[in-house]
Structure 1
Amino acid sequence: MSDIMRPMPFAHLMNWILSEYKAQGSIFGVSKLVKHDNGKALPIFEEKIESPYGPAAGPHTQLAQNIVAAYAAGSRFFELKTVQIMDGDELSKCVAKPCITAADECYNCEWSTELYVPQAYDEYVKAWFACKLLARELELGDPNGFVFNMSVGYDLAGIKSEKIDKYIEGMKDASATAVWQECMDWALANLDKFQKVDEAYVKAITPKVSNSITESTLHGCPPDEIERIATYLITEKNLNTYIKCNPTLLGYEFARKTLDGLGFDYIAFDDHHFVEDLQWEDAVPMFHRLMKLTGERGLQFGVKITNTFPVDVKAGELPSQEMYMSGRSLYPLSLSLAGKLAKEFKGMLRVSYSGGADIHSVKRLFEAGIWPITMATTLLKSGGYQRFSQIGEELMDISYDAWAGVNVEKAAALVDEFGGDGYYQKPMKPIPSRKLDKKVPLVDCFLAPCRNGCPIEQDIPAYLMLVKAGKFEEALQVITHRNALPFITGTICSHRCQDKCMRNAYDESVYIRGQKLKAAEGGFEALLPKLRPAAPVAGKKVAVIGGGPAGMSAAYFLGRSGVDVTIFERKDSLGGVVRHVIPAFRISNAAIDNDVKLMEAMGAKVELNCEVKSVQELFDKGYTHVILATGAWNKGSAGMEYGEEMNVIEFLEAAKKAPESLNLGKNVVVIGGGNTAMDAARAAKRIPGVEKVSLVYRRTKRYMPADQEELEFALEDGVEFQELLAPVGVKDGVLTCKVMELGEPDASGRRSPVDTGKVTTVAADTVITAVGEKVDTALYTANGLEVNNRGRAVVNADTMESSVKNVFVIGDGQKGPGTVVEAIADATKAARAIQDFDVDVYVEKNVNPDYQAPLAKRGDLCTDCKNCDDARCLGCATVCETCTEVCPNRANVAVAVPGMRMRQIIHVDGMCNECGNCATFCPYDSRPYKDKFTLFWSEEDFNNSENEGFLKLNGSNTRVRLGGQVKEYDVADVGCGLYEPLRKLICAVYDSYSYLLK
């Protein structure tokens, strides 16, 4: 079945590794191999590790291929996935699937290995042997320069059981086991496959896989049981021993306050685990006793920080009631516990660290004496195991002195730092979904999510590459083919493209808007003189009523297409809300003027100070088409019961044109939570005489509609946020508000405000309401246009044509207040309906002819995005392959197919346990582990799955499930009747990737 993992025999494992490396230079998709050739290593457990990091006990140490991939990427300390007496099918039934989601902080509802214990044992031995062979053959480092650390749980009776005891003893010495002999026999029989591995080397590989162990205990395990287990492992099994510690040692109040202060206040948990888990007063004397016990036996004792931190499922994150949190939200708690223990034990308690460590923190953790460092969450994100490659290079120049204790001062300094480190601060707004409203296709699934997230589908990868190359004129040419307003959108666009950017899963999205402005400013002078409209189009004459972004865009596209077009604007200049309302500190008139020049270069005519209200009058004057682009200027209202409110548009117009005319008093309140409210609050701060500006909203900042950056700008300007307040009325300089609270989350996690019955007051000499402007319904009805129940014109969604023939309605005046780029999208539809043009002229330029260029960026995080010279674009239109990176088990594989563009994705059923992580990161609204074309290893698994995919029979005969139908094909026959791209894909697997087959 799809969620049952089928471990590979050692022969298959090694054939895959050696074949892939020979053909592609990679090992299970890891192409950035880390080699340790300085001859240095850190002593640990009477062994040594060339680097102090590796994968934590979890999904990345469950199968042999996972461990090998981590080793190839530089890992040298491996915390093997926990084994316990309950295993295999019995345990698997207890694990809800999917069980992992790592979109930002990570959550999981898995625990120990889903394999049977003997299977898990075999995987660890196979991985040990494979890493030994690869160390020598590929010269990755000292074959004895890495350490395997066991992990067992969860009670003494289970650990002493025959099954777990056999596991422990086998890990201490594998020489008498069948799997060891399997590995040895294969290696000796296949020496011809190696250049640097000989018989003597193979026979000298040590069977002593592990002499250290980490004790994992379930929540609520009594302290005496924890100590009994540790004592048994030390005295009876003679093992260097770590005990996993939970953040619950810090106490509920500390954990709640810390997470709340960092913006993780939505993470729900109560105090019951804090009460039931190991207590500080029990832990400290226990650790002293165990340190003494190991010291007497020449062993090492330490703690593993941290074990799981259980939180409640509140927004359907996973199909369970409770889940375990990890990643950057766990880092402050884990680090705080490490610092507290370091201080208590004067640095002499060894700490094995896990809990949100990544490229941002590993080196400082090591320098504080906190190591080895194991990680899981960072590997579950885009880049996957190759994130370890960057970490490996980062740690090449460390001191290799023996551990001398945790540096208490440095540990304390790290604890002090995280509160002010923005990296560990949750954004005020939830990270927008990266998902597109599309299902992943079986083939050719690469696309640029940024383009699909943009309402006008700009050719973003194309112009990013041109900007990087310094070709600003060409970049601007690409931009202006779809975007008539590069200066306006390059300055104030809401950049929904960046919400979809796959770079979000690394560090920050590419600053696409800034790159657009860079192209506009760098290419404008060269491009403007070369712009020409097309040859005049006979029989078409268009009037555009309204000279805001929508009207300007429509005129630009129509003029470029050769259509006679005129804008009628009631004000004295073009630009609409952008010119007359949005504050100058957001966008300059010069930027708007440049977009006007681009429009005029296309032959569009303009009549200012001219208000047109009759469509028929325009038709009577010979216009064949009319576009209404009048904006949404009618006042909105906060619905206060009493008192006066100033309309936000009126205020912003006055603040921009004549700020000296405004007398707002000392205290100004802005009601609303959108971008316009932020503009108003920031503008009010700049009005003479104003001392305090408060922004009142009935929810918290997290649920405000304003963009994250607009919230940040308002806070930087000193605007005070008055959250969870609903205005009642204003009188005598006082705004009375109802006090609200957030109710229980709905299925999406959104929490609606609930009236508490309490009231409070806010000082308010002036109240400005920014709660949404309205369209001028009267204009539509007066001209015979059909309107809906919200007073907005009814239009054809594809053409923007209204119920009156040849009359179109676009922009804010059609749908209500929106974004500039949405206005451009409307204008594009209307213009194309009148005179069509090809929007896809530059689509092919989105693909980088150098396939390796974007691949070279995979796995590398930028630790200082603001000052990075590179745009950091991952080139998703050229190559995606994200699902291959984020799969811990390597179950999604990229396959080059002759005659098809780029590499295609194959899902290998036998390597997948349906953890669901690939579904989190796939840009489509899909689950690659369910929705990508699947390779099956057995008829049983083929029959027990619903995935579309194939099973190799004999020769080129293949059983295929497609569209719910199962048929057999001879895929060597071009005319076999199978969909040709899938036939080519299967043939590529058979011809060039036969190692995928079992």
Structure 2
Amino acid sequence: MGKITGFLEFKSKSEDYEPVEKRVENYKEFTVKLKESELKDQGARCMDCGIPFCHSGCPLGNLIPDFNDAVYQGKWQKAAEILHGTNNFPEFTGRLCPAPCEEACVLNINEDPVTIENIEKNIAEEAFKNGWVKPQIPEHRTGKKVAVIGSGPAGLAAAQQLNRAGHEVTVYERDEKVGGLLRYGIPDFKMEKNVIDRRLEVLEQEGIKFITNAHVGKNIAIEEVKLNHDSIVLCGGATVNRQLPIKGAHLKGVHQAMDFLSQNNRRVDGLKFSENEISAKGKNVVVIGGGDTGSDCIGTSFRQGAESVLNFEILKKASVDRTADQPWPYWPMKLRTTSSHAEGAEREWSISTKEFLGDAQGNLVGLITTEVEWTHKLGERPLLEEIPGTDKRWDCDLALLALGFTGSETTLAEQLGLKMDARTNIHASLDDYQSNVPGIFVAGDMRRGQSLIVWAISEGREAAYYVDKYLMGTSELPLKGEGDLPRI
């Protein structure tokens, strides 16, 4: 459990960032790695807390005190084995996860928590650097075939686990490269795409087959896929953008955040895109939505050369610290300032966009907002009310709608006769991740709605267990937190 007195001896220390003026000149990752001695000190801060609540905060059930202790002792390969035992892709979560484990850290009650996410990333990087990440090829094949539709983190996790069980796994991806939103939604400055590619090489060596430009249900018939496989796992994500149905929403210059981000990722990767170019260069940009996607739009806009960037959030400004109604170890809705915000964005809270303004040619030139307040009544949903007399006009050449997603696409559900909920998520029980159609399973955002990468990996792993059990009658794949040592 680290060093008994480590949390008293060492202060929390995270990676530094390159200066803003330097990092906005390119799309590369810009964190400055800690020294190995500093990482050991951070591992040493993992206290002997008796009951490590970090487990409850982590959807994967990662064995966090165990790998922290291994890092403290300088046993990096052991740490990598422990980490990979519960997490197929720690190089992804170590960069992109908001770290609910850190919020649940016992030390976080009255001190800064252990920097679990950064330790995790460095364990993964050490594993790749030293050649410890090797393909795990199953000794025996079962003769069963499984199709995984969607190659985001849920699909990749399900595919790797099912392949390890000995099944023949084919992953279908509608885009030209594998990775889903990891590749087309996450900016390179948060995760460069060679991080995905090196992991894909391992998956291919393990025997997983990838078919790209395969939009199942459109250019590939789902009945054909169903006929050629013993089971199907749907991992298509929640990709239907939430709209903002106000006057002027049709104007040139109003775009969905994911259209902006995916196009820029393609541009950085040297890939073609068919839609008209969306550029923030020289423009007054307003990003509507205060979540991670909005933050990604801010950082991308600065790198494209935006004149200014404003970020609107309809919720009130959150507290810097936990509030009484969000006690430890639960995830708190605190004020979070990302590296992209720190690059120069102005932020406005409790503000709602009422109208987009255009010129005679249909170009966006501004927008109208009003201030809002939320009223709360016991037992009822919060009520949003506009504050009279607070309308304001803002100059705006590019508006990016980072409003989240309303659910998954319905094509496959309709063609297969799958049950959906009111948000068009496909219904599949957590008891076995199986839909109402036998042999068809659902995992990740397509089942639970828009969520975190760590939840996607967790659901992919869990669904794989139940698929294996469905095909074979029993399964030796691990469930949450059980580990799978010594696989890497």
SS at match of 1:712: coil
Q: Indicate whether 1:588 and 2:192 are aligned.
A: yes
Distance 1:598 1:513, change over 3 A: farther
Distance 1:723 1:842, change over 3 A: closer
Structure 2 counterpart of 1:714, one-letter code = S
Q: By how many angstroms is 1:752 displaced? A: 5.9
Structure 2 counterpart of 1:637, one-letter code = Q
Q: Indicate whether 1:617 and 2:245 are aligned.
A: no
Distance 1:843 1:559, change over 3 A: closer
Q: By how many angstroms is 1:711 displaced? A: 2.4
Q: 1:648 aligns to what? A: 257
Q: Distance in 1 between matches of 2:178 and 2:100?
A: 25
SS at match of 1:673: coil
RMSD: 3.0
Q: Is the 8 A contact 2:160 2:203 kept in 1?
A: yes
Q: Indicate whether 1:838 and 2:478 are aligned.
A: yes
Q: By how many angstroms is 1:560 displaced? A: 1.7
- Find 1:731's aligned residue among 357, 368, 381: 357
Q: 1:699 aligns to what? A: 315
Q: By how many angstroms is 1:779 displaced? A: 2.2
Q: Is the 8 A contact 1:800 1:809 kept in 2?
A: yes
Q: 2:444 aligns to what? A: 811
Structure 2 counterpart of 1:495, one-letter code = A
Q: Is the 8 A contact 1:476 1:520 kept in 2?
A: yes
Q: By how many angstroms is 1:611 displaced? A: 2.0
CA offsets, 1:911-962, max 9 Å, x none? xxxxxxxxxxxxxxxxxxxxxxxxxxxxxxxxxxxxxxxxxxxxxxxxxxxx
Distance 1:754 1:529, change over 3 A: closer
Q: Is the 8 A contact 2:55 2:64 kept in 1?
A: yes
Distance 1:588 1:662, change over 3 A: same
Distance 1:528 1:596, change over 3 A: farther
Q: Distance in 2 between matches of 1:767 and 1:706?
A: 29
- Find 1:520's aligned residue among 87, 111, 124: 124
Q: Distance in 1 between matches of 2:52 and 2:127?
A: 24
Q: By how many angstroms is 1:629 displaced? A: 0.9
Q: Distance in 2 between matches of 1:777 and 1:570?
A: 15
Q: 1:499 aligns to what? A: 103
- Find 2:372's aligned residue among 717, 720, 740: 740
SS at match of 1:532: coil
- Find 1:712's aligned residue among 324, 334, 338: 338
Q: 2:245 aligns to what? A: 639
Structure 1 counterpart of 2:339, one-letter code = F
Q: Distance in 2 between matches of 1:619 and 1:643?
A: 40
Q: By how many angstroms is 1:515 displaced? A: 0.7
Q: 1:189 aligns to what? A: none
Q: 1:347 aligns to what? A: none
Q: By how many angstroms is 1:692 displaced? A: 0.8
What does residue range 550-565 of structure 1 map to in structure 2 within 5 Å?
550-565=154-169
Distance 1:602 1:462, change over 3 A: farther
Structure 2 counterpart of 1:571, one-letter code = D
Q: Is the 8 A contact 1:487 1:594 kept in 2?
A: no
Q: By how many angstroms is 1:807 displaced? A: 0.5
Q: Distance in 2 between matches of 1:602 and 1:663?
A: 40
Give unpaired runs (5+ residues) of structure 1.
1-30, 33-382, 391-444, 846-998
- Find 2:303's aligned residue among 669, 686, 702: 686
CA offsets, 1:144-183, max 9 Å, x none? xxxxxxxxxxxxxxxxxxxxxxxxxxxxxxxxxxxxxxxx
TM-score for both structures, normalised by structure 1 = 0.38
Q: By how many angstroms is 1:521 displaced? A: 0.8
Q: 1:671 aligns to what? A: 288
Q: By how many angstroms is 1:597 displaced? A: 3.2
Q: Is the 8 A contact 1:467 1:518 kept in 2?
A: no
SS at match of 1:702: coil
Q: Is the 8 A contact 1:498 1:511 kept in 2?
A: yes
What does residue range 593-612 of structure 1 map to in structure 2 within 5 Å?
593-612=197-216
Q: Distance in 1 between matches of 2:110 and 2:204?
A: 42
How many percent of aligned residue pairs carry the same amino acid?
27
Count of matched residue pairs: 403
Q: Distance in 2 between matches of 1:602 and 1:558?
A: 11
Q: 2:45 aligns to what? A: none
Structure 2 counterpart of 1:456, one-letter code = L
Q: Distance in 2 between matches of 1:663 and 1:591?
A: 26
Distance 1:581 1:842, change over 3 A: closer
Q: Indicate whether 1:578 and 2:182 are aligned.
A: yes
Q: Is the 8 A contact 1:477 1:527 kept in 2?
A: no
Q: Is the 8 A contact 2:183 2:265 kept in 1?
A: no
Q: Distance in 2 between matches of 1:775 and 1:842?
A: 31
Q: Is the 8 A contact 1:628 1:807 kept in 2?
A: yes
Q: By how many angstroms is 1:642 displaced? A: 2.7
- Find 1:626's aligned residue among 232, 256, 266: 232
Distance 1:842 1:698, change over 3 A: closer
Q: Distance in 2 between matches of 1:820 and 1:789?
A: 23
Q: Is the 8 A contact 2:86 2:484 kept in 1?
A: no
Q: Distance in 2 between matches of 1:594 and 1:708?
A: 35
More contact order relative to length (CA 8 Å, sep ≥ 6): 2
Q: Is the 8 A contact 1:484 1:595 kept in 2?
A: no
SS at match of 1:657: helix
Q: By how many angstroms is 1:789 displaced? A: 1.9
Q: Indicate whether 1:761 and 2:368 are aligned.
A: no
Q: Is the 8 A contact 1:547 1:567 kept in 2?
A: yes
Q: Distance in 2 between matches of 1:680 and 1:823?
A: 22
SS at match of 1:713: coil
CA offsets, 1:505-544, max 9 Å, x none? 2421111111111111112244546442333342421110
Q: 1:6 aligns to what? A: none
CA offsets, 1:680-731, max 9 Å, x none? 122112213x211111122233189998686232331111112221111111
SS at match of 1:566: strand
- Find 2:347's aligned residue among 721, 725, 731: 721
Q: Is the 8 A contact 2:286 2:310 kept in 1?
A: yes
Q: Is the 8 A contact 1:533 1:561 kept in 2?
A: no
Q: Distance in 2 between matches of 1:563 and 1:764?
A: 53
Distance 1:544 1:825, change over 3 A: same
CA offsets, 1:51-109, max 9 Å, x none? xxxxxxxxxxxxxxxxxxxxxxxxxxxxxxxxxxxxxxxxxxxxxxxxxxxxxxxxxxx
Distance 1:683 1:663, change over 3 A: closer
Q: Is the 8 A contact 1:474 1:523 kept in 2?
A: no
Q: 1:799 aligns to what? A: 432
Distance 1:538 1:502, change over 3 A: same
Q: Is the 8 A contact 2:80 2:123 kept in 1?
A: yes
Distance 1:842 1:734, change over 3 A: closer
Q: By how many angstroms is 1:453 displaced? A: 1.0
Q: Is the 8 A contact 1:627 1:807 kept in 2?
A: yes
Q: Distance in 1 between matches of 2:452 and 2:202?
A: 20
Q: 2:453 aligns to what? A: 820
Q: By how many angstroms is 1:502 displaced? A: 0.9
Q: By how many angstroms is 1:545 displaced? A: 0.8
The structure with the greater share of residues assigned to helix is 1
CA offsets, 1:649-698, max 9 Å, x none? 1011122222794344521111112111111122112213x211111122
- Find 1:770's aligned residue among 391, 402, 405: 402
Distance 1:493 1:625, change over 3 A: same
Q: By how many angstroms is 1:639 displaced? A: 2.6
Distance 1:529 1:490, change over 3 A: closer
What does residue range 308-457 of structure 1 map to in structure 2 within 5 Å?
446-457=50-61
Q: By how many angstroms is 1:576 displaced? A: 0.9
Larger radius of gyration: 1
